Amino acid sequence: MTKETLTVTDNRTGRTYELPIMDGAIRAMDLRQIKVNDDDFGLMSYDPAFKNSASTKSTITYIDGDKGILHYRGYPIEQLAEKCTYLEVAYLIMYGELPTQEQLSKWENEITYHTLLHENIKQLFEAFRYDAHPMGMLISNIAALSTFYPEAKNVDDPEIREVQIKRLIAKMPTLAAMAYRFSMGFPINYPDNDLTYTGNFLNMMFKMVEPRYRPHPVLQRALDVLFILHADHEQNCGTNAMRSVGSSRVDPYSAMAAAAAALYGPLHGGANEQVLRMLTAIGSVKNIPAYVERVKAGEFRLMGFGHRVYKNYDPRATIIKEIADQVFQVTGRNPLLDIALELERIALEDDYFVGRKLYPNVDFYSGIIYQAMGLPVAMFPVMFAIPRTVGWLAQWVEMLVDKEQAIARPRQIYLGHGRREFLPIEQRG
């Protein structure tokens, strides 16, 4: 009979330990009993960048990176992207089940109710330089919201939590659109609550002087799908920031500002912006081979390629490619698509990329779609942050109610100086 244990022999002492294996993992704390002597702190595991450490148990998102599988609460991403609206999926991610019609209508009403921002937020936007990056403005304003809702600090009160969750999901598109309108020098558009979540976002972004903005149904649907694809992705850098910062029991606005800041980075949600800049810099299909050679020489990375978890393909990239065709029928073809397709073709035939299992990720094509929709490149990470809000919040609640969790506080391996005596300044150097 097989035993769900791991037998470890410490060759320093010759002692053997039997560690339980649960859910495919050993507990790092079980290593601490492994000591050379009584004064020894005990064995730790060293895992920079968490490459093989589970920081939590979760029931939200399942990824099988080798098979290219992504599920939210058990449902395949392909089915959700085909059949649901973003708010339907947001409900699923947040509460664990797909909503009934009644639950969905109530949820949509509640989100719609909270779309307006306090008017003072406008002054915060006005304080930024005229060319401020919209993601910088978004991050700051998410944090600022905590000052408008001081009760949000009661993170252990489920009812107070619920209100903040709805506020954040509702206000993120409004904040994002405001960041865009300010960066363009356009007047702000207020929400139109007769429109859907994504339709209203398009309204707040693009309405000019027409009395009523009518979102194009294909673009509205495309945005729903893009938002669904970005809604959660288990323990990525931004989500880890949300959980880690939230573990100090700070309010969700402050924790989410940290998550959004993590997302901004070019290796994370900022990659879609970098992809566009890269495709524009390549400029023409004929320049691709030389560009790929420079990537292989280690000069820079091919943005939108590779993933910590997906080592086969990113299923979100496949769905996005289909959406791109539908969007381009409305907006006209983005000329950068030809460069992207050829770059993908060349890379996928090249031993460098094949050997390292580097495939296009979600960000490789999303930026091309957003650009075709009329969004400036700097807005792309913002477009990632809006739908990821629900993922962050669901993971945050999961962390708060998990009795095994505590303030996130990793250990270190100290390799610096041993104790030494202070030197007065005249004796140094």
Q: Which stretch binds ligand CMC (CB under 6 A): 14-22, 70-78, 117-125, 353-361?
A: 353-361
- Does position 361 interact with ligand CMC (CB under 6 A)? The reply is yes
Is 363 known to be catalytic?
yes
The residue from 302, 369, 372, 383 that contacts ligand CMC (CB under 6 A) is 302
- Does position 118 interact with ligand CMC (CB under 6 A)? The reply is no
For residue 137 the two structure tokens come to: 């403005």
Task: Choose between 216 and 277: whose C-beta lies nearer to ligand CMC.
Answer: 277
Tokens 């996005």 — which residue? 320
Measured distance CA(104)–CA(386) in Å, rounded: 19
Measured distance CA(294)–CA(278) in Å, rounded: 13
- Does position 269 interact with ligand CMC (CB under 6 A)? The reply is yes
**What value, to the nearest 5°, has the Cα angle with vertex 119 and ends 132 and 157?**
100
- Does position 288 interact with ligand CMC (CB under 6 A)? The reply is no
- Does position 306 interact with ligand CMC (CB under 6 A)? The reply is yes
The residue from 134, 191, 304, 315 that contacts ligand CMC (CB under 6 A) is 304
The residue from 71, 277, 301, 333 that contacts ligand CMC (CB under 6 A) is 301
Tokens 């649960």 — which residue? 22
In the complex, minimum distance from the CB of residue 392 to ligand CMC, in angstroms, rounded to a whole number:
13
In the complex, minimum distance from the CB of residue 313 to ligand CMC, in angstroms, rounded to a whole number:
12
Give, in order, the Cα–Cα distances in Å from 204 to each of 87, 177, 310, 367. 18, 6, 35, 20
Is 307 known to be catalytic?
yes
Give, in order, the Cα–Cα distances in Å from 205 to each of 64, 112, 177. 36, 17, 5
Task: Choose between 73 and 233: whose C-beta lies nearer to ligand CMC.
Answer: 233
Using CB atoms within 10 Å of the CB of residue 97, give its burial: 0 to 12 exposed, 13 to 18 middle, 19+ buried: exposed
In the complex, minimum distance from the CB of residue 361 to ligand CMC, in angstroms, rounded to a whole number:
4
| Non-local CB neighbours of 15 within 8 Å, separated by 6+ positions | 9, 34
Using CB atoms within 10 Å of the CB of residue 394, give its burial: 0 to 12 exposed, 13 to 18 middle, 19+ buried: buried
Task: Choose between 118 and 268: whose C-beta lies nearer to ligand CMC.
Answer: 268
- Does position 356 interact with ligand CMC (CB under 6 A)? The reply is yes
Task: Choose between 144 and 358: whose C-beta lies nearer to ligand CMC.
Answer: 358
Start-end of H helices in 127-216: 134-148, 158-184, 197-206
The residue from 161, 171, 181, 233 that contacts ligand CMC (CB under 6 A) is 233
- Does position 368 interact with ligand CMC (CB under 6 A)? The reply is no
- Does position 388 interact with ligand CMC (CB under 6 A)? The reply is no
- Does position 124 interact with ligand CMC (CB under 6 A)? The reply is no
141-170 residues near ligand CMC, rule: CB under 6 A: none
Task: Choose between 142 and 263: whose C-beta lies nearer to ligand CMC.
Answer: 263
**In the complex, residue closest to ligand CMC by CB:** 306
First to last CA, the chain: 66
Q: Which stretch binds ligand CMC (CB under 6 A): 267-275, 277-285, 324-332, 408-416?
A: 267-275
User: Order of strands across the sheet with 69-72?
Assistant: 61-64, 69-72, 75-76
Measured distance CA(238)–CA(233) in Å, rounded: 10
The residue from 362, 372, 385, 399 that contacts ligand CMC (CB under 6 A) is 362
Using CB atoms within 10 Å of the CB of residue 161, give its burial: 0 to 12 exposed, 13 to 18 middle, 19+ buried: buried
For ligand CMC, what does the binding mask look like between residues 186 and 225, x meaning CB under 6 A?
----------------------------------------
For residue 30 the two structure tokens come to: 């079980």
Measured distance CA(155)–CA(138) in Å, rounded: 22
Site size for ligand CMC (CB under 6 A)? 20
- Does position 295 interact with ligand CMC (CB under 6 A)? The reply is yes
In the complex, minimum distance from the CB of residue 316 to ligand CMC, in angstroms, rounded to a whole number:
9
Q: Which stretch binds ligand CMC (CB under 6 A): 55-63, 118-126, 262-270, 317-325?
A: 262-270
Measured distance CA(283)–CA(385) in Å, rounded: 28
- Does position 292 interact with ligand CMC (CB under 6 A)? The reply is no
Task: Choose between 170 and 386: whose C-beta lies nearer to ligand CMC.
Answer: 386
Single out the catalytic residue among 118, 268, 350, 402.
268
**96, 34, 32: which is closest to 60 by C-alpha?**
96
Measured distance CA(266)–CA(255) in Å, rounded: 20
Q: Give residues in contact with ligand CMC (CB under 6 A).
A: 233, 236, 267-269, 271, 295, 301-308, 356, 358, 361-363
- Residues marked as catalytic: 268, 307, 363
